[in-house]
Amino acid sequence: MEVQWILVCHGLVTLLVLVSFLCGQWPIFDGTPIQRINHFLTFGAYDYFQRFVGFVFGARGTNAIASAEYFCCDRPNPILQIMYFAIVGGTYYLVATSSFRYIPGYYISEIHRYASLFAVGVGVLLFLLASFSDPGTVKADNVSLYLSAYPHDNIIYSEKDCSTCKIPKPARSKHCSICDRCVARFDHHCGWMNNCIGERNTRYFIAFLLWHTLLCIYGTVAIGLILAGQVKEFKVIDILTVYYGIDNSFRGLTPHVVQWLLGAYNTQILLMVFLAIVSLLLGGFFGYHAKLCLTNTTTNETFKWQDYISWQRKLNEARASSAALKASINGTDSERKPPESKWRAIFRRSPLKEVDVVVKNNMYNKGFFQNSLEVIVPLSTRQLASRTKSKSG
């Protein structure tokens, strides 16, 4: 019984930490323990650790932490890539050693021994493609290709040179400070891939997210079928209903079946919960990036549009406020009007509410089909193919 309570507490704590880490900054959690846990996880713990090291080891310790932080966060490094292989390899090893002995089972066939290995292999292949393929590096010899593929919209992108690379900067590109290169259609720098996600490897990154989401769902369902087969094989429901007189209903049987599973198959239960949680996280991340692809927007552009819309809104509010102040001054200088009713003054529309709504005008959004095609077959690839064809012709 102690093991079961430990597993339940472990699951609740894991859920609390995940929700706090991922959602703690949402406005709905302002002033709640979830927001405080989020602050501790994202800032407080590291700050306290720095203070502790500085107190014990002095300046030498804090300099060592700064060097480690620079290596891990500001320069390309394979740490998260190694962690990916450790997580995938360790999870597959635990699943194989704890669950493959029950395959084939009552609800699962022997083919899943090999299908699971194939699925993991495809996931690793997509990871390698996203990690080591060129994201679309902009150089002096190919900058004209990207300049013609992505015109400037003169809203969030305007003609200018990269101050680091000293070459014209194509629209939608960004100089990555970690990789120290300009990347076409820059989305973000992914630490897990140790690579930028740009024009030429976004397709591999999206495929990686989708496949790993499905892989985790597959693992969750497969382990669930194994456990259901064990319940059937050992006639657990028959024993509970016939020998122990438990009511033959979902509500009556569920606590006892779960108790039996936690006692006999706690490793499989932990793996199933872990895979289910990871599938939810990856699924949400995939959904976010799929939406970006379907609207032909990047993560980098999302922040640019937020800054632009916020700046335009403030500018319009300042203009409206200035116009209202000028009208008020002109009103006092003109003939004195009868005093306005208090009720009318209360319900009078504020000049700031009449500010024009700032609309996001994304010229790169060409519709569902074209946007999807642009991710699958990048524009620069098509431009290069057409140039090669015209030269050969």
Digit-coded pLDDT (tens) for 320-376: 888 777 777 776 555 555 555 555 555 555 555 555 566 788 999 999 999 999 999
Mean pLDDT of the region 228-233: 92
More confidently predicted of 240 and 11: 240
pLDDT at 295 over 80: yes
Q: Look up the pTM and report it.
A: 0.82
Pick the residue with more confidence: 333 or 104?
104
Confidence at 113, pLDDT banded by 50, 70, 90: very high
Answer whether 194's CB lies under 8 Å from 76's CB.
yes
Q: Is 369 helix (H, G, I), strand (E, B) or coil?
A: helix
Give the model's confidence band at 264: pLDDT under 50 very low, under 70 low, under 90 confident, else very high.
Answer: confident
Token look-up 């927001």 returns 35
Q: Which of 23, 179, 182, 190 is catalytic?
A: 190
User: Quick one: pLDDT at residue 222?
Assistant: 96
> Which is nearest to 112 in space by CA: 224, 271, 213, 231?
224
Report the alpha-carbon distance of residue 176 to residue 167 in Å, rounded. Answer: 14
String of DSSP letters for 74-128: IS--SHHHHHHHHHHHHHHHHHHHHHGGG-S-SS--THHHHHHHHHHHHHHHHHH
Cis peptide before 78 (omega within 30 of 0): no
Burial class (CB in 10 A: 0-12, 13-18, 19+), 361: exposed
Q: Which residues are within 8 A (CB) of 282 and not within 5 positions of it... i.e. 6 or more apart? A: 209, 212, 213, 216
Q: What's the angle, vertex CA 30, arms to CA 24 and CA 32, rounded to 5?
A: 80
Distance in angstroms (rounded) separating the CA atoms of residues 169 and 157: 9
At 120, list the tokens: 């993991």
- Asked if 182 is an active-site residue, the reply is no
Q: Single out the residue of 128, 313, 296 nearest to residue 205, CA to CA.
A: 128
State the pLDDT at residue 29.
78
At residue 3, the pLDDT reads 55
Secondary element (H or E) of residue 333: helix 299-333
pLDDT of residue 381: 84
pLDDT given for residue 259 in this prediction: 86
Of the pLDDT bands very low, low, confident and very high (cuts 50, 70, 90), residue 2 is: low
CA distances, 227 to each of 12, 110, 136 (Å)? 22, 15, 46
Q: Is residue 383 scored above 80 in pLDDT?
A: no
The pLDDT assigned to 334 comes to 54
**What does the mean pLDDT of the chain come to?**
86
The Cα–Cα gap between 270 and 262 comes to 9
The predicted pLDDT at position 73 comes to 75
pLDDT at residue 286 in the model: 94
Question: When comparing pLDDT for 1 and 315, which is higher?
Answer: 315
Has residue 47 got a pLDDT over 90?
no
Element (H, E) at 273: helix 266-294
- R_g of the chain, CA atoms, integer Å: 29
Asked whether the predicted pLDDT for residue 7 surpasses 70, the reply is no
The encoded tokens of residue 257 equal 């079946």
| Amino acid, res. 143 | V
What DSSP assignment string belongs to 148-199?
HHS---SSS----B-TTT-SB--TT-EEETTTTEEETT--EEETTTTEEE-T
- Between 122 and 314, the more confident residue is 122
pLDDT of residue 108: 92
Q: Which of 146-155, 272-281, 349-358, 375-384 has the lowest mean pLDDT?
A: 349-358
Q: Report which DSSP code applies to 143.
A: H
